[in-house]
């Protein structure tokens, strides 16, 4: 089965990568899909986010990255995919993810969303938290891939100049 793992991935974290790795061992093919979340202001443009993900997934031969400017269900329909995978961190994620899954199901009743519980060690990790901590000088190198850590640091330095 081919599944889409959608998100903003601004930028990809080790929590995302944990979900990608686990999804890739259970599904035939995983498409990591960068979409717009209108409620978020991004740090990296789509092409940068794609290249961060490409570097992070290079050892998985059944994982690819793509982006789409529109509805997730539209992308799924165009590409003839009917399944979504999402990571669920804490209880606080549940309400938002539940609503999103129901909305997607309403828009496209053939679509199903599968949830993977985030590994305990990444349960507090989010792109927003990582960016915020890094802006205040915290070391977030254990929470994101190496190349992403370097990119966040240089972005913050550049913004502060
Ligand atoms: O990583 P995020 O920001 O939680 O991911 C949310 C995302 C990008 C998956 C979601 O905002 C999304 O699906 N955006 C595309 C538009 C869409 O299909 N929205 C859902 C129905 S309103």
Each residue's pLDDT tens digit, 36-65: 998 899 999 999 999 999 999 999 999 999
The C-alpha atoms of residue 85 and residue 65 are separated, in whole angstroms, by 14
What is the rounded distance in angstroms from the CA atom of residue 159 to the CA atom of residue 139? 18
**CA–CA gap between residue 127 and residue 131 (Å, rounded):** 6
Q: Give the pLDDT mean for 116-144.
A: 95
Which residue owns the Cα nearest ligand 1 atom 5? Answer: 7
CA of 81 to the centre of ligand 1 (A): 16
State the pLDDT at residue 160: 66
Q: How far apart are CA 24 and CA 154, in angstroms?
A: 31
Arithmetic mean of pLDDT, 88-93: 84
Q: Is the pTM of this model over 0.75?
A: yes
| Pairing mode of beta strands 2-7, 29-34 | parallel
Could you give the percent of the chain with pLDDT greater than 70? 99
Pairing relation of β-strands 112-117 and 29-34? unpaired
Angle at the Cα of 132 from the Cα atoms of 51 and 127, rounded to 5 degrees: 40
CA–centroid distance, 7 to ligand 1, in Å, is 6
Look at residue 115 in the predicted model and tell me its pLDDT. Answer: 96
Residue 31 confidence (pLDDT) above 80: yes
Q: Predicted confidence band at 90 (pLDDT cuts at 50, 70, 90)?
A: confident
User: Above 80 in pLDDT, residue 161?
Assistant: no
Asked whether 8 lines ligand 1 (CB < 6 A), one says yes
Q: Is the CB of 128 under 6 A from ligand 1?
A: no
Q: Which of 67, 72, 94 most suits a substitution to test ligand 1, by most atoms within 8 Å of the C-beta?
A: 72
CATH class of the region 2-157: alpha beta
Closest CA to 152 of 25, 36, 42, 60: 42
Average pLDDT, integer, range 75-100: 93
**Burial of residue 106, with CB atoms counted within 10 A of its CB: 0-12 exposed, 13-18 middle, 19 or more buried:** exposed
């Amino acid at each position: 089965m081919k599944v889409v793992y959608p998100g903003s991935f601004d930028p990809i974290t080790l929590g995302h990568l944990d979900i990608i790795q686990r999804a890739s061992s259970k599904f035939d093919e995983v498409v990591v899909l960068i979409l717009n979340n209108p409620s978020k202001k991004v740090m990296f443009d789509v092409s940068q986010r794609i290249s961060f993900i490409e570097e992070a997934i290079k050892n998985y031969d059944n994982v690819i990255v793509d982006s789409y400017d529109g509805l997730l269900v539209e992308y799924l329909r165009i590409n003839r995919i009917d399944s979504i995978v999402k990571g669920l961190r804490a209880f606080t994620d549940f309400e938002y993810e539940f609503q999103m899954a129901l909305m997607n199901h309403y828009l496209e009743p053939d679509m199903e969303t599968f949830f993977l519980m985030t590994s305990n060690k990444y349960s507090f990790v989010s792109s927003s938290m990582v960016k915020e901590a890094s802006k205040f000088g915290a070391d977030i190198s254990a929470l994101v891939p190496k190349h992403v850590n370097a990119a966040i640091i240089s972005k913050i330095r550049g913004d502060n100049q």
